[in-house]
Structure 1
Amino acid sequence: MLQSKIPATVITGFLGAGKTTIIRNMLMNAGGKKIALIINEFGDLGVDGDVLKGCGADNCTEDDIIELTNGCICCTVADDFIPTMQKLLERGTLPDHIVIETSGLALPQPLVNAFNWPDIRTRVTVDGVITVVDSAAVAAGRFADDHDKVATQRAEDDSLDHDSPIEELFEDQLTCADLIVLNKTDLLDAAGIAAVRADVTARVKRKPTMVEARNGEVPSMVLLGLGAGSEDDIDNRKSHHELEHQALHDSGEAHDHHHDHDEFESFVLKLGSIADPSAFVDRLVPVIEAHDILRLKGFIDVPGKPMRLVIQAVGSRIDTYFDRPWTSGEKRETRLVVIGLHDWDFAAVVGAVEKAV
């Protein structure tokens, strides 16, 4: 009998939606399945991979976690993802399941399509695409731009040839989903959750299953075993960019084939120890709001504490927790990755964050 294909789950979602938390919870409750993780981040500091390596799950050791930090996976499929998958499939002991966490800025469509690559298609199938949604961010209007204002700006400036990159990306990630997880519902009341459901539903022509979650807690039996075979349905999950390209192609107009991330920028900031992280967080909130920082995450060195402090900020919501002890070969320092839109004042952002220390 032919060996069954290895199922792979793609977990996508915008910056700070809670993808890593969901994966961490899944690993701790995977029912003994041996899981291989491929993690992609926007920026050079691999925070998510470090967090997952520290969770101590026996079914997913450090050797089973592969990090791709050369750019968003949707733009480096041929150069990074396919060779990584080929090496993974050459291992003596194969995983029971593969989980891929995309960058918060990645389009999932090119990644799903990569599973039609000849060397991969015969051995792996996309069990499902799971899109994680920050319900509180949706309720706050993060992805609901003023379309009349955008139309006016486009009429006045010929260089504005597309709608909000954030809103388009959010909708593209929803469009590709087999399962949508409305995360962080504990931050909303019943009316707020209902409004988020209506908002998300209105953005998707396809109608994937939708579940609610608090703190990224979704049973593994819900996340794994969807059996969607998503790579066979890729034509029904086209992104805004693909649909625009198709329309221009049909009209005979030239169009750039590549999706890029010129709308976004990131940098890694290395700081000294921070004696009072609570005060740092309080001072950081107005900095994030003033400079429209989309995402801030990393590790803080707290003097006198043997464990490193993880910091995760989505908008002005900031969480911190100690995850594991600093290792003997690890340099103790505060390292933060900051992500925002390309038109920010880089020097001002750096200066403001440093001043908050």
Structure 2
Amino acid sequence: MLNKKKLIPVSLLTGYLGSGKTTLLNQVLSNQKGYKVAVIVNDIGEVNIDASLIQKGGNVTQKDENLVPLSNGCICCTLKVDLMKQIISLAQSKKFDYILIEASGICEPGPIAGSICMLDGTDETVNLPAVAYLDNITTVVDAKRMADEFGCGDALLNENMDEEDIENLLVQQIEYCTTIVLNKTDLVTDEEKKNVISVIKALQPKAKIIETTYGNVDVDDILSTGRFDYEKILESAGWIQAMQGEGENSEDHDEHEEHHHEHDHEHEEHEEHEHHGHHHHHHHHDEGEAEEYGIGTFVYQNVKPFSKQKFEEFVFAKWPKEVIRAKGLFWIADDPQTAYIFEQSGKQKTATDDGKWIAAFPEYERKQILQMNPDIAQAWHPVYGDRVNKLVFIGRNMDKDAIIKALDDCITDEAK
């Protein structure tokens, strides 16, 4: 149980390069409303430019020890330990009542959130002092960049990153947050802005969206919001909501994340498989707005395996350009033991080994798991067990029937 009374709250600020994070940070620090805020600024270069800009704004200074620059690395990976040390130090100094972290523009928010949550005292296996808790994750989104990328189709170009890496990072930053600041709305038309918001809501339907220019936001929307919940954020992304059938086919189950082959996992929804081995359903997160701008979500499901060759051909040669985001589980006939996670953001597509299906476990262990998890037992297929291809698609003006047919064409009966 998280006891917040003795812990210092932490707010994480993320967003791609040039989105306006530092401008927003300075706006917040100029209107602190009595908060004593310490700031940690991460920059991947040897010189922390953002820290210099914040000092120039006259809000915090390194001399007063309330500005901590973390340079030459990312706090989501190489500087993770340094970040935790600085949070502990600031919290134990008793000089501050809030910590605000500005992550580098190329940081993934998930690992950073995990590091901060290790300091809240809820995990007794972690030998770290309980000093802080994560209160809010704010992602700053450049409305103009989003309009160009998802609205007009123009490529995002950066000399240091591939286009597909940028698209993937933007999606991750939007999916893993509790507050979205849509910045630079003065640079897009009302139609483009509504278009962008429809995409954001499809990717992350649970976050609060704040529209602004020049990073102008109310402090209360960034600090002491109480919005972050570790369990809820893991299930808040649009693809997970669709996987769970929230909306048309909503049912109340726990643990619908994809790692359903693990021992303690509750299986996916209780719906029965149709006689031909698969079913599909379709729903929108924000019905009126989503329909108006062509944003749709659907789940493809089929218990029979993919042919590795045919699925790879679909993914790398026939992938529909209208798909913005796709994620889910699949299995292939050549390797029936292994559950794979497929993930796509923009042009980037990956498939990773996620361990064994429960059906591949030794019989005694499998029986034990099924006895302990009636949901899994109820959904168990008499031939394939818990093996399933279950993929969520989010996109604009998708030809759902064509995608389903293309995936059905990848199915084979030749499982080993």
2:59 aligned counterpart, secondary structure: coil
Aligned to 1:270: none
Distance apart, 1:230 and its partner CA = 3.4
Tell me what 2:213 maps to: 214
Q: Which moved more, 1:114-123 or 1:46-55?
A: 114-123
1:181 and 1:43 map into 2 onto residues whose CA distance is 25
Amino acid at match of 1:112: A
Q: Which residue of 1 aligns with 2:133?
A: 125
Q: What is the TM-score when the length of structure 2 is the normalising length?
A: 0.50
Letter of the 1:47 partner, please give it.
I
**Where does residue 49 of structure 1 map in the other structure?**
51
What is the CA–CA distance in structure 2 between the aligned matches of 1:164 and 1:44, rounded to whole Å? 26
Of structures 1 and 2, the larger Rg is shown by: 2
TM-score calculated relative to the size of structure 1:
0.58
Amino acid at match of 1:208: A
2:182 is paired with a residue of what secondary structure?
strand
Aligned residue for 1:135?
143
Kindly state the Cα deviation for residue 67 of structure 1 after the two structures are TM-superposed: 0.9
Q: What does 1:221-236 correspond to in 2, within 5 Å?
A: 221-233=220-232, 235-236=234-235
In the superposition, relative to structure 1, how do residues 41 and 2 fare at CA in structure 2: closer, same or farther (>3 Å)? closer
Residue deviations 1:147-203, cap 9 Å, x none?
Answer: 9xxxxxxxxxxxxxx991111110110111111110001112211211111122222
> Is residue 2:187 matched to residue 1:179?
no
Which residue in the other structure is 1:65 paired with? 67
1:168 counterpart letter in structure 2? N
- Bigger relative contact order, structure 1 or 2 (CA pairs below 8 A, ≥6 apart): 1
Q: 1:20 aligned to 2:28?
A: no
CA distance in 1, matches of 2:5, 2:62: 22
- Classify the secondary structure of the residue corresponding to 1:17: coil
Return the alpha-carbon distance in structure 2 between the equivalents of residues 58 and 41 of structure 1.
17
CA distance in 2, matches of 1:17, 1:168: 16
8 Å CA contact retained: 1:22, 1:216: yes
Q: Deviations over 1:263-318 (max 9, x none)?
A: xxxxxxxxxxxxxxxxxxxxxxxxxxxxxxxxxxxxxxxxxxxxxxxxxxxxxxxx
Partner of 2:10: 8
- Runs of 5+ in structure 2 lacking a partner? 123-129, 156-161, 240-256, 259-325, 342-416
Distance 1:123 1:203 in 2: 32
Q: 1:91-240, aligned counterparts within 5 Å? A: 91=93, 93-118=94-119, 122-141=130-149, 164-204=164-204, 206-233=205-232, 235-236=234-235
Matched-pair contact (CA < 8 Å) for 1:24–1:52: yes
Tell me the distance in 2 between the aligned counterparts of 1:144 and 1:77: 37
Q: Counterpart of 1:196 in 2: which secondary structure?
A: helix
Quote the offset at 1:234 in angstroms: 5.0
After superposing the two structures, state which structure 1 stretch, 80-89 or 50-59, moved more: 50-59
Q: Aligned AA for 1:231? A: Y
The Cα of 1:82 is off from its aligned counterpart by 1.4
Q: What is the rounded CA distance, in whole Å, between the counterparts of 1:114 and 1:95 in structure 2?
A: 20
- Among residues 29, 32, 48, which one is paired with 1:30 in the alignment? 32
Match of 1:275 in 2: none
- Distance (Å, rounded) in 1 between the aligned partners of 2:16 and 2:151: 10
What letter matches 1:4 in structure 2? K
Q: CA deviation at 1:238?
A: 7.9
Instruction: Specify the alignment match of 1:81 in structure 2.
Output: 83
Matches of 2:202 and 2:339 in 1, distance apart? 30
Partner Cα separation in structure 2 for residue 35 and residue 110 of structure 1? 23
Counterpart code for 2:206: K
Letter in 1 for 2:147: A
- C-alpha distance in 2 between matches for 1:222 and 1:127: 11
Q: How has the CA–CA distance of structure 1 residues 254 and 17 changed in structure 2, closer, same or farther, with 3 Å as cutoff? A: same
| Shift in CA distance, 83/182, structure 1 to aligned 2, threshold 3 Å | same
